[in-house]
């Protein structure tokens, strides 16, 4: 190896080392913020599971038979606990989340921006609810590329997200929201990342699970059948890895 090649290698190694340190630092900051966030805006409420049983049953139409499913930013494992699949993996930054997983759900503690522990083309569906708005645009781009790597050909990314176009006044009431997405910008963003958008529902769920409708869980199946959903502030976007 000549001096120029050795110099380039040293620079590349140093750059990779700095990136790893920055990623680790970002993960620590995110975990510290998450602890307070769960205490204030995302405290556990057992009524969520009743609501998510209905929501997941509605989303099951996008889950192929015998699928391997991965939930990112799983929180209380609302989707993973209820989806019917061959295998279910839930991933979250906080170690405490594993206590909420039911039997049959494998838990992985880690930063969703690093999916290196998962093999290429090993998953049929990746699900995330209220995740992307907490990451900056560059991190979201990296995340989608990681998702594309772990998805099998034709696999799906299913996203439930706050829709800024419907609730601009309340969107930043959550102090951890850093990126704006709407039912128009998110499909464009996913397409720019190389995914094929299959389905967009601008009005999918109420903006917050703290609403009266959200906790009147017997009304949820009826609500999901309505062509126009009042109080909606969250969207559903489904994209495939074609």
Span 61-112, pLDDT tens digits? 999 999 999 999 999 999 999 999 999 999 999 999 999 999 999 999 999 9
Band (22; pLDDT cuts 50, 70, 90): very low
- Say yes or no to pLDDT of 14 above 80: no
Q: Which of 1-10, 12-21, 127-136 holds the top average pLDDT? A: 127-136
- Say yes or no to pLDDT of 27 above 80: no
The whole-number pLDDT of residue 33 equals 53
- Say yes or no to pLDDT of 1 above 70: no
* pTM, two decimal places: 0.83
CB-based burial label for 64 (10 Å; 0-12, 13-18, 19+): middle
Query: To 10 degrees, the CA torsion angle through 170, 159, 80, 211?
Result: 20
Band (41; pLDDT cuts 50, 70, 90): low
Q: How many other CB atoms sit within 10 Å of the CB of residue 141?
A: 14
The whole-number pLDDT of residue 45 equals 74
Radius of gyration of the chain (CA): 19
Question: 54: which residues sit within 8 A by CB, 6+ positions away?
Answer: 217, 220, 221, 224
The whole-number pLDDT of residue 5 equals 57
- Say yes or no to pLDDT of 19 above 50: no
Long-range contact list for 197-200, CB < 8 A, 24+ apart? 197/237, 197/238, 197/239, 198/156, 198/238, 198/239, 198/240, 199/62, 199/236, 199/237, 199/238, 200/235, 200/236, 200/237, 200/238
The better pLDDT of the pair 205, 17 is held by: 205
pLDDT digits (tens, 9 = 90+) for 127-139: 999 999 999 999 9
Q: What share of the chain in percent tops pLDDT 70?
A: 79
What mean pLDDT is predicted for residues 30-37? 55
Is the domain 44-240 a CATH 3.40.50.150 member? Answer: yes
Rounded-to-integer distance, Cα 194 and Cα 8, Å: 31
Closest Cα partner for 105 from 89, 86, 82, 128? 89
């Amino acid at each position: 190896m000549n001096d120029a090649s050795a110099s380039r290698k040293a620079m590349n190694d140093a750059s990779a080392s700095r990136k790893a340190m920055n990623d680790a630092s970002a993960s620590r900051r995110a975990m510290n913020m998450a602890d307070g966030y769960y205490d204030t805006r995302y405290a556990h409420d057992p009524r969520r599971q009743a609501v998510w049983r209905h929501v997941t049953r509605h989303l099951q139409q996008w889950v192929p038979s015998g699928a391997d499913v991965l939930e990112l930013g799983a929180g209380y494992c609302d989707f993973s606990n209820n989806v019917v699949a061959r295998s279910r993996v839930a991933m979250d930054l906080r170690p405490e989340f594993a206590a909420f997983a039911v039997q049959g759900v494998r838990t992985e503690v880690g930063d969703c921006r690093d999916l290196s522990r998962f093999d290429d083309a090993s998953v049929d569906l990746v699900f995330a609810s209220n995740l992307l708005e907490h990451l900056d645009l560059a991190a979201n781009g990296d995340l989608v590329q990681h998702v594309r790597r772990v998805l099998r050909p034709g696999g799906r990314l299913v996203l439930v997200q706050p829709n800024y176009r419907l609730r601009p006044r309340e969107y930043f009431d959550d102090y951890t929201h850093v990126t704006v997405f709407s039912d128009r910008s998110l499909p464009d963003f996913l397409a720019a990342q190389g995914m094929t958008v299959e389905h967009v529902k601008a009005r999918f769920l109420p903006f917050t699970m703290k609403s009266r409708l959200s906790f009147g869980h017997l009304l949820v199946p009826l609500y999901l059948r309505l062509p126009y959903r009042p109080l909606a502030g969250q969207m559903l976007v489904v994209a495939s890895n074609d």
